[in-house]
Chains A and B, each alone.
Chain A
Amino acid sequence: MTLSVDILRTVGGFSLDVVFEAPPGVTAVLGRSGAGKSTLVAAVAGLARPDDGRITLGPDTLYERSRRIDLPARKRRIGVVFQDSRLFPHLSVKSNLMFGRRRHGAAEPDFDEVVDTLGVAPLLGRRPRSLSGGERQRVAIGRALLSGPRALLFDEPLAALDSERKAEIMPFLERVVAQTALPVLYVTHALEEARRLADRLVVLEDGKISAQGAVEAAIASAGLVSAGDRFLDGVVVEAVIDEIDERYQLSGFALGRHRLWAPGVLGEVGGTARLRLLARDVALSLDPPPRCSVRNVLPGVVRKIARSDGPYATVLVDVGGAVLKSEITRRSADELGLAPGRVVYALIKGVAVARG
C-alpha cells in the first residue's frame, strides 16, 4: 500500500504545491515553520480540502478534484498523531485508546500488544490531564494505531516536548515504525528526527518540494538550495568496515574506492555503521597534502558550490561512493578557484568522524 499525494492548495498568498509518494516505511516531510507542513497534514488527513489534485492510498482514492471525490476524515482511516496529542480530556486513557477501535471494530492490532509496545499499561485508568507530555504522546500514538489505520500520519509529534521527553519517546517511535507495515508519513522540522526514523525524505520549502529521495541524498541536495540553514550540518554515510586496526583502535571503512578511518573499534570486519561527517570538519585542498596528520584524504570532484552572502560557502564533493559536504569560507572557495568539475581532495581528520 502506497500513499500518493499530489495536491495544490492556496491559502491567502501562500500556495502548497506538492507531488510525492509514501510507500510502506517511513517517509519524513522536513520543513521549517511556514513551509506548508500543517496545510499538507490537514489535506492528507481530510481536515481541509485542497484546491486541486489527487490523494490515493493503495487502490482507494481519498481525494480527486476532477472526479469530485473527497472522502471525509472519518472514512480515510489514516491514524493521525498530532503535535498537541489531542487526547479527549473527559475520557480515561483506556477510553481514549479505545475511541477509534470501537468505531472500526478492527481486531488488529492487538490492544495488549500496543499497550505493551508503548508502555502505557500503568496509565490506563488515568485522565489525560494528569499525564506528562511524553506520556500523552505515547497514548496518542496508541490511539492512532488502535483505530485500525491503513496509513499513519505524524504531525510533529515531538515538537512540543523538551529534549529529555523527546529522548524518552524516540525509542517508542522507532519501535512503532519498525513494527508497522503501513506507509508512515512523518512531518517534522527537526532533521535529527527524520534521520533517525525515516527511509525517505521529502524536503518542503515555501510550499514546494526542494528535494526528495533517500534521506542523505535528499538532505545533501536540499542543502545547497538553502545554504546556511541550521539543518545543513553535514552528511551521514553508511559504510562497510573492511579493516580494524586493533593496535591503534581505529576502524577502516570502505567508501567507494577509498578508505575512511574513524576512531574506535566500531564493529567487526564486514559489518556496517553510519558515520557522520560534519560539513565544517571537511577541508578542501587542490593537492594531496604531504606529511599531514589528517588521516582521510579523499580525491573527488566538486559537484556543486553555493556561496552565501556572508562569509561561508558550501561545497558538495563527489568522492565516488559518497557525496561529502564541506563548509569553508567564501574567500577560500574563491582563492582556490573552486567550481563544479574541479578535482579536489577532501580532508577529514580521523577524530572528526563520528557515528551517525
Chain B
Amino acid sequence: MEPEDLVAIRLSLLVASVATLASLPFAVLVALALARGKFWGKTLLDGLVHLPLVMPPVVTGYLLLIGFGRRGPIGQALEACCGLVFSFRWTGAALAAAVMGFPLMVRAIRLSLEAVDRRLEDAASTLGAGRLGVFFAVTLPLAVPGLLAGIVLAFAKALGEFGATITFVSNIPGETRTLPAAIYTLTQTPGGDDAALRLVLVSIALSLAALIASEILARRLAGRIDG
C-alpha cells in the first residue's frame, strides 16, 4: 500500500470519528426535543434535521460553503471567537460528514428514547431523582442500544461521505482527501484502477468492521440490561 493511501485511510478515520463524537451531544439533544418536547416549530425542526438526507449532497456542501466558509457569517464568527476554521481543512470535512450523518443519528436515538418506559422514569422520580437525574440514571442508559446504532450509522455514513465534502472543502491530499475522494481521484488517473480497487477493499473492510463491532457491543449491552 502506498504512503498516500495510508494518509487517506488515517484521515478518513479521523474525520469520521471526530464527526461522530462531536455531533453526538447535539444529536441527543435534538432527539430528546423531538421525542419528548412539545413546542412550536417541532415539525420544522424535524424537517430541517432530515434535509441532508433528501437534498443532493452537493447542495448541502454548497450551503456549508456559504455558511461556514471563510467569508460565511458562521465561519467568520467561529474563526473570530474560537479560532476554528473549516474551509479547506480536515475540520471542514468532519463538519460535512457530521451534517450528512446527523439525520441518521438523530433518528436512531429518537426511536430508542421513545421506546424507554416512562413508568420507570416515574418510579425514579418517586425515589427522589430530579429531571437530570432521571435522564442520566434511567433514560439515557436505557437508550444506549439506540445511541450505539446511531453512532455506527453516522460513523459509516461519515466514512463514505463524498459529495458534500468535496464541494465544501475540495480534495486536498493530506488535508481533505478522504477515502472516497482518494478513490475518485484514482479512477480519474490513467492506470490508477489497481490502486482504486485496493482502497475500495479497505473501505469495504472498514464499514464491515464498524458494523460487526456495533453488533458485538449491542449484544453485550442487551445481555447486561436483560440478564
Residues of chain A touching chain B, judged by Cβ–Cβ distance below 8 Å, are 45-47, 72-80, 82, 84, 86, 88-90, 99-100, 103-104, 127, 129-130, 143-144, 147-148
Q: Is B125 an interface residue when CB atoms closer than 8 A count as contact?
A: yes
CB-CB contacts below 8 Å: B105-138 with A: 119-120, 122-130, 133, 137-138
Q: Which of A45, A86, A147 is the most central at the interface, judged by chain B CB atoms within 10 Å of its CB?
A: A86
Residue of B whose beta carbon sits closest to that of A45: B126
| 8 Å CB contact of A80 from B123, B142, B227 | B123
Known A86-B120, A88-B138, A90-B141; judge A77-B227 contact (CB<8 A): no
CA distance A73 to B227 in the complex (A): 30
Residue of B whose beta carbon sits closest to that of A82: B123
CB distance from B129 to the nearest CB of A (A): 6
Asked whether A143 lies within 8 Å of B127 as measured between CB atoms, the reply is: yes
Taking CB atoms, residues of chain A closer than 8 Å to B137 are 88, 99
Residue of A whose beta carbon sits closest to that of B128: A103
CA distance A59 to B144 in the complex (A): 42
Residue of A whose beta carbon sits closest to that of B137: A99
Give 7 nearest A-B pairs by CB, closest first. Answer: A100-B127, A103-B128, A86-B123, A73-B125, A80-B126, A90-B141, A147-B127
Query: What is the count of residue pairs linking A and B with beta-carbon distances less than 8 angstroms?
Result: 74
| 8 Å CB contact of A147 from B119, B128, B227 | B128
Q: Is B225 an interface residue when CB atoms closer than 8 A count as contact?
A: yes
Asked whether A82 lies within 8 Å of B119 as measured between CB atoms, the reply is: yes
| 8 Å CB contact of A73 from B122, B138, B142 | B122
Asked whether B129 lies within 8 Å of A103 as measured between CB atoms, the reply is: yes
Q: Is B224 an interface residue when CB atoms closer than 8 A count as contact?
A: yes
CA distance A100 to B141 in the complex (A): 17
CA distance A147 to B127 in the complex (A): 6
CA distance A76 to B226 in the complex (A): 31
CB distance from B3 to the nearest CB of A (A): 46
CA distance A86 to B120 in the complex (A): 6
Asked whether A86 lies within 8 Å of B128 as measured between CB atoms, the reply is: no
Known A100-B128, A103-B129; judge A129-B123 contact (CB<8 A): no
| 8 Å CB contact of B126 from A46, A88, A130 | A46
| 8 Å CB contact of A99 from B119, B124, B227 | B124
Known A79-B126, A90-B142; judge A130-B227 contact (CB<8 A): yes
Residues of chain B touching chain A, judged by Cβ–Cβ distance below 8 Å, are 119-120, 122-130, 133, 137-138, 141-142, 144, 224-227
CB distance from A57 to the nearest CB of B (A): 14
Taking CB atoms, residues of chain B closer than 8 Å to A82 are 119, 123
CB distance from A94 to the nearest CB of B (A): 15
CB distance from B118 to the nearest CB of A (A): 10
| 8 Å CB contact of A74 from B126, B138, B142, B224 | B126
CB distance from A75 to the nearest CB of B (A): 8
Asked whether B126 lies within 8 Å of A90 as measured between CB atoms, the reply is: no
Asked whether B126 lies within 8 Å of A47 as measured between CB atoms, the reply is: yes
Taking CB atoms, residues of chain B closer than 8 Å to A72 are 125
CA distance A275 to B144 in the complex (A): 56
CB distance from B69 to the nearest CB of A (A): 44
CA distance A78 to B128 in the complex (A): 9
Asked whether B128 lies within 8 Å of A77 as measured between CB atoms, the reply is: yes
Asked whether B127 lies within 8 Å of A89 as measured between CB atoms, the reply is: no
User: Can you give 18 A-B contacts (C-beta < 8 A)?
Assistant: A46-B126, A47-B126, A74-B126, A74-B127, A74-B129, A74-B133, A76-B126, A86-B119, A86-B122, A86-B123, A88-B123, A89-B120, A90-B141, A103-B133, A127-B226, A127-B227, A144-B126, A148-B128
Residue of B whose beta carbon sits closest to that of A95: B137
Residue of A whose beta carbon sits closest to that of B140: A90
Taking CB atoms, residues of chain A closer than 8 Å to B125 are 46-47, 72-74
Asked whether B133 lies within 8 Å of A73 as measured between CB atoms, the reply is: no
Q: Which of A72, A73, A80 is the most central at the interface, judged by chain B CB atoms within 10 Å of its CB?
A: A73
Asked whether B130 lies within 8 Å of A74 as measured between CB atoms, the reply is: yes
CA distance A165 to B127 in the complex (A): 25
Taking CB atoms, residues of chain B closer than 8 Å to A47 are 122, 125-126
Asked whether B129 lies within 8 Å of A90 as measured between CB atoms, the reply is: no
CB distance from B222 to the nearest CB of A (A): 10
Q: Which of B119, B125, B130, B142 is the most central at the interface, judged by chain A CB atoms within 10 Å of its CB?
A: B125
